[in-house]
Each structure stands twice: as C-alpha cells, then as structure tokens.
Amino acid sequence: MGRILAIDYGKKRTGLAVTDPLRITANPLVTIETQQLPDWLKDYFDNNNVDAVVIGHPVQLNGQDSESMQYIRPFIKYFKQLFPKIPLVEFDERFTSTLAHQYMLTGGMKRKQRQDKTVVDKIAACIILEDYLQTL
C-alpha cells in the first residue's frame, strides 16, 4: 500500500504532508516555493510509493469556490497531464490555516515560530490529509 500525499497549494508557497506507509498517520512534510512543485513532485514520486494525492479545494462559507481556485485549477490540469496514473482528489480545505494557527498556539510554539508561514502551510496540508483520512 502506498502513501497519500496532501497539497496545500498557494500562489507563492505550497505545503505538503504525507501519510505513513500504512496510512494511519498524517505528517507535515515540507513547504516549498510553488514554482518548484512539479519538479519536487516528480522527484518524490520517483523515490516513494504514492497511491494518491489530495489537494485542498478552498471553499467560501456559502459553499462557492474561493477566488484562489483561479490559480489552483490550472495546476490541477497540469498535474493530471504530468502524472496521469496518480489519482488527484480535491478536498474541502475550509479553515485549515486557522486550525493550523490554533494547533501551533496550543502546541506551545513560540511567537516567532508561529509567524513562519512555511510552518503554517505544511501544517495546513497535514490537516487536509487528516480530514481526508477520516472520510476513508
């Protein structure tokens, strides 16, 4: 059984999280510059057994797509062209950044650490992945 990778896609930075091989736990992986994402994914897929990818689908409170979908949709299309054999699942990511900040606060992270957006991005990806795993 392969891992599941989660993507919290952003204009500048993208947070990534991954399950363990048994798909029991979700773990923050890394935050990278979004322009480097395709190359990073290719390298990761070449070196790891990944069965599926979950990408955050930002939705407003009224259920409509968030404005950020305008730059996520082209990436989804590009991903499917680059990696046609890897299923890509869109998953509601409402409040993940807010929850990431709360986790950091309750986890005792110092203020300077909580201001590091790269940490927030990979924790948000982890929350997306945890939520997705609960639906399986």
pLDDT in the model for residue 82? 97
pLDDT in the model for residue 136? 82
Computed over every residue of the chain, the mean pLDDT equals 84
Domains of the chain with CATH codes: 3-135 (3.30.420.140)
Using 50 as the pLDDT threshold, list the residues of the chain that sit under it: 114
How, if at all, do strands 13-19 and 50-57 pair? unpaired
CA dihedral 70, 87, 91, 115 (to 10 degrees): -70
* Nearest of 105, 56, 60 to residue 76 by alpha carbon: 56
pLDDT in the model for residue 48? 96
Percentage of the chain modeled with pLDDT above 70:
79
